[in-house]
């Protein structure tokens, strides 16, 4: 019998976040236990509205709590140029605010961890501000979750000459991210841009989604995302950033290589990244770094198998 993972999703509900909720809802081995909102792909009120829209679309009745509208320090950077101003590609959906628990996102994360120790997984898809605030309330928070899987980070240091996609979720709140990687935990998994950028929903896969009557919403919101990424690759294709993190939570076999060790948040003066303190060949970096509990860092994935599963789940029944 397939084990069902009960998952709390912390999300800045943009296009790939919405796809992730669709994917989780379509997997027999996943149950969305609660959802919390955070700024990032859009402003926090829009993230909450988008949670409400997707849960109504799916017929999900789960606890929802609203979270941070800005990082622990500094100002919010909103990626409206990627996901549309409203986070769902500015298609024009009616998106009333959902009913919420009345707790902050951080309070909900703490309460659920204490009420269900070892039973829930926490999937973080946006800036880590809510998690950072929750750790202030309960420094042992991550020991109460079965696992914490986050979409963010940049993996180990890449071979010289290699360029990486922006590590947006970490860059949006490096202080919160540093607290997350320093916290005690059962298991913390980092699914970074080093692997998500290689997991591409290509023209064939997008065509399969467009042909499926029950994937209408998934494709209606794609155009803004495709408009952005066509300037990266010259093709109307997209990376499956957040869905890949959900896939690896449910099926670690989607990851074909891992490294484990301390993760630090580093800045070059312009941008912050979360890095495993190892070079691409497993050596320590050439500078001092902070000790931290080990994080499992994904370094390679079976992109083809994951993309096929993602398309199958979102088109199932056609």
Write down the catalytic residue from 16, 121, 241, 309: 241
Residues 162, 245, 20, 29, Cα dihedral to 10°: 150
Q: Which residues contact 110 (CB under 8 A, 6 or more apart)?
A: 134, 137, 138, 141
Within its chain, how far is the Cα of 149 from the centroid?
Answer: 8
Catalytic residue status for 241:
yes
DSSP-derived letter for residue 253 is G
Catalytic residue status for 83:
no
- Whole-number Cα distances in Å, 134 to 8, 128, 269: 13, 10, 28
Q: Which residues contact 273 (CB under 8 A, 6 or more apart)?
A: 153, 154, 164, 167, 170, 171, 265, 266, 267
Q: Which residues contact 100 (CB under 8 A, 6 or more apart)?
A: 48, 64, 65, 66
d(CA 110, CA 134): 6
The residue behind tokens 């998106």 is: 95
Classify 273 as helix, strand or coil. strand
| β-strand pairing of 5-11 with 188-191 | unpaired
d(CA 215, CA 219): 6
Q: Are 190 and 274 in contact (CB under 8 A)?
A: yes
Residue 194 class from Cβ within 10 Å (0-12 exposed, 13-18 middle, 19+ buried)? Answer: buried
Write down the catalytic residue from 12, 16, 46, 173: 12
List, by residue number, the catalytic residues. 12, 241
């Amino acid at each position: 019998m397939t084990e069902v993972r009960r998952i709390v999703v912390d999300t800045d509900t943009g296009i790939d976040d919405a796809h992730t909720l669709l994917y989780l809802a379509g997997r027999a081995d996943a149950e969305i236990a609660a959802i919390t909102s955070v700024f990032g792909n859009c402003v926090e009120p829009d993230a909450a509205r988008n949670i409400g829209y997707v849960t109504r679309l799916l017929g999900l009745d789960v606890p929802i709590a609203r979270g941070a509208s800005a990082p622990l320090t500094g100002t919010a950077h909103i990626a409206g140029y990627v996901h549309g101003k409203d986070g769902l590609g500015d298609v024009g959906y009616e998106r009333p605010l959902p009913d919420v628990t009345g707790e902050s996102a951080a309070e909900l994360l703490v309460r659920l961890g204490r009420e269900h120790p070892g039973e829930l997984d926490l999937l973080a898809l946006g800036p880590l501000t809510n998690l950072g605030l929750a750790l202030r309330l309960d420094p042992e928070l991550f020991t109460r979750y079965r696992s914490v899987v986050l979409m963010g980070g940049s993996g180990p240091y890449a071979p010289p000459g290699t360029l990486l996609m922006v590590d947006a979720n970490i860059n949006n709140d490096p202080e919160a991210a540093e607290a997350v990687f320093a916290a005690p935990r059962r298991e913390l998994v980092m699914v970074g841009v080093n692997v998500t950028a290689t997991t591409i929903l290509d023209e064939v896969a997008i065509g399969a989604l467009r042909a499926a009557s029950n994937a209408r919403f998934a494709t209606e919101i794609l155009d803004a995302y495709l408009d952005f990424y066509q300037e990266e690759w010259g093709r109307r294709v997209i990376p499956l950033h957040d869905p890949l993190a959900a896939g690896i939570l449910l099926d670690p076999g989607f990851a074909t290589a891992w490294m484990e060790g301390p993760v630090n948040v580093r800045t070059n003066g312009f941008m912050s990244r979360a890095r495993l303190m190892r070079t691409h060949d497993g050596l320590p970096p050439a500078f001092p770094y902070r000790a931290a509990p080990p994080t499992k860092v994904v370094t390679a994935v079976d992109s083809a198998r994951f993309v096929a599963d993602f398309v199958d789940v979102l088109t199932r029944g056609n």
